[in-house]
Structure 1
Amino acid sequence: MGTQAVFSASVKGATTMNVVVLGAGHMGRYAAIQLAALPFVHDLVIGDLDEEGARSVAETLGRKARPAHIDATNRDQLKAVLEEADVVVSTVGPFFRIGAAVLDAAVQMGCHYVDICDDPAPTLELLSRDATAREAKVTAIVGAGASPGISNLLALKAIEGLEEIDTLITGWGTGGQEDDPEEEPSHRGASAAVEHWVSQLVGPIPIQDDGRQVQGKPMAPTSIRLPGSAPITAYTVGHPEPVTLPRYFPAIRHSINVFDMPRAVVVLLEETIRSVTSGRLSVSEASRQLTGALYDGQIGPGGMRGAVRAGAAAARERVTGKDYLPQIFALATGRRAGRRETRATALNGYIPGGMAAATCIPTTIMLTMLAEDEIDRRGVFAPEAGVDPDRFFARLAPHIVRDSTSDGEGPVRFLNE
């Protein structure tokens, strides 16, 4: 039912769309706010296991929004709520436990699917449903956020025209920004994202090495030099980009994902990892303490001590005198016409509003592109396989605030040598 509703006519005309947002936490709430503002969204269901949480979100969004009690692990509940939906936007995790169940229900009900999955293992599980989704004429975009999402499309611009691709690095971080006045000070809902981050730093991570998918080391210091800039140390982390980009572009020989943060945050992460690998704390326990340290400057009893206690306050302040990598970027080295080239792409500024804005604005844009027939691929795929980067960045441009690194007028900054 959903498939015909979305694609029966252009949304620019009279066609409307029924959307389900799964998750009423930090990300789901921001996604719902963005989606409620779209004129073609007729009915917006905010579903969560916590019905009160879903109701509190829906009540702020006007008549088109309504709450629903949904257990994403309950197939019958999922199918019932998706029966009248054209698209489901999944922000609920962990994706390794819930992602496939939501996608399977969406495909069965003929409902399109967009998510913000940033975990490589569930990404592969979701991509394995490609043939089934294509047969059902369903479009499912996996990782439609900042990283993955924006980073994948920046990577497309970085490798454009290269005949050989030696290395492709995607990355993300603070961009060296001062405290964002539009970012919510509360860390309500942020602990789940921190727990995912920690889980991708305590074990082997998938990377592309010499044309093969292998297991690499997380938190490995990596020197990143963007053209025209001095080298900056970043750190490897488990993410979908090194898994999906070589899948669609097999010419990529080496690929990793890295992050760049103030040294005080790195100290917190290193101590967090030691607390887990030593068995002192579980991933969940360490993540809760890291969340408290990053947002409140508080450390729980029996947990991270020493350097963490000294670094917690500094983690919330900008570290002066340090160069930072852009908020989101891609760096490629390769050859064109036999000549070696190094190319980097980055947002030409930054997206204000913190992690939720940087993640959910791209989600909303991709859903709009799907509704307006700018994405016509069926099946399950990552953004680089079905989203036109130029059209995407044109839509993202109004959300980008220029800063001291901005160059030119476009939404993407290009650095080549």
Structure 2
Amino acid sequence: MNRRPYQVIVIGAGGAQAQAMLAAAARGTDVSTWLAVDRRWREEARAATEALGITTREVDPLEDAVALKALLSEGAIVANLAGPYYRTGTQVLDAAIETRTTYLDICDDADVTLPMLERAEAARAAGVTAVIGMGSSPGTTNILIRAAVDYLGPVEDVEIAWTVDVADITDAAIRHFWHCFNLVEQDGTTHPVPAWDELNTKSVDFPGTVGSQTVARLAHPEPFTAPLFLPVQRAVNHGAITPLDAMRTAWALAYAVDPQRAHASTSTVDAAVAVFSSYRDTRPAGPRIGSGLQIDVHSNGNGLRFASGGVTPMEEATGVPAAAGLVMLLDGEVTDAGVLAPESLSPAAFFTALRRVSLGGGGLELYELVDGRVGERVRIRDLIAARAGQAG
């Protein structure tokens, strides 16, 4: 690492996912030389950050390119947790490459993933390691896919499905979720938000409290990165906000303010966010559904299925893997220069780092898939150990 005043600089550090990441990182490594930056700190978030021993600063480095590069020159690593990434991703990544600063983010926007990956050669030429999409999905999902492919060999299909409880959808998160309705082709072509009856939907049975849910095909980075970084022919992503009335409300507002159709002003979009927030906060109270995940990695229905369902908050599910990614960078576990998706990371090293930063628990299950049906249960540690043994 370069000798700079700060080991890690976190941009957007006052947000919910960044706060979870900082708390997790403090469980697994020394954070006394970290700098947390936010354009407008909430008092409780700033106090919580400083209680971890992290220096805070209130500034908006994204307003000025010179200020952004000056900030990044103070740190060996920058963690960009300021979304939406279709606005901030390439801006911070370009500054990191120019200042030769190691980079990490939790980018979950498909359309900007492609231009970020196109910076790979510039990053390699500068000797910069940039890990993009290091959250839950993408992030943990990519590494699970990598572990399965390492074990199975080349596969034809990867099918990802996830749900998020409406209670976890912050104002920032709903802006991203709306963006996911704009499907993105492999060449970067982006489509308008489809009509409700035109959504590609299916029913998925998640474990635990989540149960059977309807999910829709949504734009996400994994369908681009999995075939690029792994011997995978096709990948598709489906997602949802639960319960279904929340999904319908989110879709309706996304359709109304879709820039490809409505050319809505910033104030109109802000008003739509306020409408969704009011709906979220005033809808009839009910039992918390939680978040669900299912990943099928297979050829002709034969392979592996990862599945989870529970009440882990979205900020924890996203922030903790990001902390594990930073620990891997600090420990020298990721050394290749270039723009890397999480599929590039060692599953064994990731899960080792994850144990350091996690509170424990988690309900991820792994099963064999036989002719498209769930078979025998497999221990994830055995999957990782088997591949590690083959590599050794």
Q: Which TM-score band applies after superposition, normalised by the shorter structure?
A: 0.7 to 0.9
Q: Distance in 2 between matches of 1:59 and 1:232?
A: 36
| Shift in alpha-carbon separation, 1:245–1:284, aligned structure 2, 3 A | farther
| Shift in alpha-carbon separation, 1:371–1:130, aligned structure 2, 3 A | same
For residues 181-204 of structure 1, the C-alpha deviation after alignment (integer angstroms, 9 at most, x for no partner) is xxxx897xx211111101222x3x
Match of 2:227 in 1: 246
Q: Which runs of 5+ in 2 are unaligned?
A: 367-376, 385-392
**Mapping for residues 172-187 of structure 1, pairs under 5 Å:** 172-174=162-164
Q: Distance in 1 between matches of 2:348 and 2:248?
A: 38
Deviation at 1:72, TM superposition (A): 1.4
| Shift in alpha-carbon separation, 1:160–1:222, aligned structure 2, 3 A | farther
Match of 1:393 in 2: 351
**Mapping for residues 25-64 of structure 1, pairs under 5 Å:** 25-50=15-40, 56-57=46-47, 60-64=50-54
| Shift in alpha-carbon separation, 1:125–1:215, aligned structure 2, 3 A | closer
Match of 1:264 in 2: 245
Q: Secondary structure at the match of 1:86?
A: strand
| Shift in alpha-carbon separation, 1:402–1:195, aligned structure 2, 3 A | closer
Q: Secondary structure at the match of 2:138?
A: coil
Q: Is the 8 A contact 2:162 2:293 kept in 1?
A: yes
For residues 327-352 of structure 1, the C-alpha deviation after alignment (integer angstroms, 9 at most, x for no partner) is 333112216xxxx61421235x7573
TM-score (norm 2): 0.77
**Mapping for residues 77-92 of structure 1, pairs under 5 Å:** 77-92=67-82
Q: Secondary structure at the match of 1:285?
A: helix
Q: Is the 8 A contact 1:54 1:68 kept in 2?
A: no
| Shift in alpha-carbon separation, 1:163–1:186, aligned structure 2, 3 A | closer
Q: Structure 1 vs Structure 2: percent identity of aligned residues?
A: 25
Q: Is the 8 A contact 1:142 1:381 kept in 2?
A: yes
* One-letter amino acid of the counterpart of residue 59, structure 2: H
Alignment of 1:333 with 2:304, yes or no, is: no
Match of 1:368 in 2: 327
Match of 2:9 in 1: 20
Q: Distance in 2 between matches of 1:413 and 1:226?
A: 21
Q: Is the 8 A contact 1:17 1:41 kept in 2?
A: no
Deviation at 1:293, TM superposition (A): 1.5
For residues 140-173 of structure 1, the C-alpha deviation after alignment (integer angstroms, 9 at most, x for no partner) is 1000000100111122233334455332112222
Q: Is the 8 A contact 1:126 1:380 kept in 2?
A: yes
Q: Secondary structure at the match of 1:114?
A: strand
Q: Is the 8 A contact 1:34 1:361 kept in 2?
A: yes
Q: Distance in 1 between matches of 2:110 and 2:263?
A: 26
Alignment of 1:290 with 2:288, yes or no, is: no
Greater helix fraction, Structure 1 or Structure 2? 2
Match of 1:168 in 2: 158
TM-score (norm 1): 0.73
Match of 1:206 in 2: 184
Alignment of 1:345 with 2:289, yes or no, is: no
* One-letter amino acid of the counterpart of residue 328, structure 2: M
Q: Distance in 2 between matches of 1:254 and 1:85?
A: 36
Q: Is the 8 A contact 2:78 2:104 kept in 1?
A: yes
Match of 1:304 in 2: none
| Shift in alpha-carbon separation, 1:198–1:260, aligned structure 2, 3 A | closer
Q: Distance in 2 between matches of 1:150 and 1:18?
A: 24
Q: Distance in 2 between matches of 1:245 and 1:275?
A: 32
Alignment of 1:149 with 2:110, yes or no, is: no
* One-letter amino acid of the counterpart of residue 221, structure 2: P
Deviation at 1:25, TM superposition (A): 2.1
Q: Secondary structure at the match of 2:61?
A: coil
Q: Is the 8 A contact 2:106 2:135 kept in 1?
A: yes
Root mean square deviation, CA, Å? 3.7
Counting matched residue pairs gives 358
Q: Distance in 2 between matches of 1:250 and 1:214?
A: 24
Match of 1:12 in 2: none
* One-letter amino acid of the counterpart of residue 336, structure 2: R
Deviation at 1:32, TM superposition (A): 2.9
| Shift in alpha-carbon separation, 1:41–1:366, aligned structure 2, 3 A | same
Q: Secondary structure at the match of 2:304?
A: strand
Match of 1:381 in 2: 340
Deviates more, 1:395-404 or 1:246-255: 395-404
Deviation at 1:120, TM superposition (A): 0.9
**Mapping for residues 104-143 of structure 1, pairs under 5 Å:** 104-143=94-133
Q: Is the 8 A contact 1:207 1:242 kept in 2?
A: no
* One-letter amino acid of the counterpart of residue 9, structure 2: V
Q: Distance in 2 between matches of 1:213 and 1:225?
A: 31
Q: Distance in 2 between matches of 1:115 and 1:44?
A: 16
* One-letter amino acid of the counterpart of residue 237, structure 1: L
Deviation at 1:286, TM superposition (A): 2.5
Match of 1:313 in 2: 284
Q: Is the 8 A contact 2:297 2:303 kept in 1?
A: yes
Q: Is the 8 A contact 2:120 2:338 kept in 1?
A: yes
